[in-house]
Amino acid sequence: MDQAPGSPQEPQDAQGLPGCYRHPDRPTGVRCTRCERPICPDCMVSASVGFQCPECVRSGSGTGHAPSANQPRTVAGGTVAADPRLVTKILIGLCLAAFVVQMAGAAGDRFTDRFEMLGLAWVPSLGGPEGVAEGQWYRLLTAMFLHGSYIHIAFNMLSLWWVGGPLEAALGRARYLALYFVSGLAGSALSYLLAAANQPSLGASGAIFGLFGATALLMRRLNYDMRPVIALLVINLVITFGWSNIAWQAHIGGLVGGLVVGYAMIHAPRERRALVQYGTCALVLVAVVVTVVVRTAQLT
């Protein structure tokens, strides 16, 4: 078991839970989100995400700066924003705006044909061969903002709001955006690799599955009840493999990408947190690029 700073040993109760660092006779499953020492209800001070111990609140966790109450940080080290759901709102707005354009008759159909995920195929409305294999790498990204029906966009946007908002507050805007886009690109890359070259796909599901994975890791890290998010993830996986016309490759790719990046975001050591977090994002993006290059070589 990890030992907290300044505490050579954590007392354990009969069930294996650590004792509060100030009240060793009180077992607890909650830890300070800054120093990670176990804290009982009497020692918990509410923070932007989770709880902090009294020492971290008073001293700014030993940094020598103003108290942490004046410099709040998220559990992943990000800056706490006045509107913790702003990025989620912007992402939803972009998806809704793109969907409005998609519904604009023939022009909307050409817009969808131009920006959906496609490996390689002849597209009559565009008058030639189209796809990532033709050098249109932007499709890996733009497909994340397109949707195929009212039910499709409604389900995805509700999921994004329900999962994305709390996760944005927990990670901070920059880390949340990195997680979202890396997960989405990982989903697009796996879809490009495994799906038929002429099979188009679109939707934010790959990125949202990445958020599901990261949320499960965060709830485990904070000792919260994981059953709701696990149940929702299982339901989505059942739908993914139980219904036709669903790009399961994007869902699985996004989930794997989200788990890898999410683990780095949540468990990175504090002394080199940014390096580990963004370095992991870079490694996943390298894997995406390699996947796209290999698949392109196969198709061309």
pLDDT digits (tens, 9 = 90+) for 206-225: 999 999 999 999 988 888 87
Query: Does 179 lie in the same domain as 42?
Result: no
Determine the 3-state secondary structure of 269 from DSSP: coil
Same domain for 134 and 39: no
Check whether residue 9 and residue 141 sit in a common domain: no
Q: Are residues 136 and 220 in the same domain?
A: yes
Active site positions, annotated: 205, 251
Residues 53 and 106 in one domain: no
Q: How far apart are CA 166 and CA 134, in angstroms?
A: 39
Q: pLDDT at residue 44 above 50?
A: yes
Nearest Cα residue to 41 out of 29, 58, 57, 56: 29
DSSP 79-125: BPPSSTTHHHHHHHHHHHHHHHHHTSHHHHHHHHHHHSB-SSEEEGG
Range of 30's domain?
A: 1-72
Q: Dig out the tokens for 194 from the structure.
A: 């495994």
Domain with residue 140: its CATH number is: 1.20.1540.10
Percent helix / strand / coil, the chain, rounded to 5: 60, 5, 35
What does the pLDDT look like over 188-203, one tens digit per residue? 999 999 999 999 999 9
Answer yes or no: is pLDDT of 158 > 80. Answer: yes
Task: State both tokens at 151.
Answer: 């039910």
Amino acid at 44: M
Question: Domain check: are 96 and 171 in the same one?
Answer: yes
3 and 145 assigned to the same domain: no
- State whether 163 and 251 are in the same domain: yes
Segment 160-185 mean pLDDT = 93
Phi/psi zone of residue 62: left (φ > 0), alpha (ψ -120 to 50 degrees), beta? left
Same domain, 62 and 102: no
Are 218 and 266 contacting, i.e. CB atoms less than 8 angstroms apart?
Answer: yes
pLDDT surpassing 70 at residue 10? no
- Count of domains for the chain: 2
Residue closest to 75 by CA, chosen among 47, 46, 44, 49: 49
Residue 292 domain flag: yes
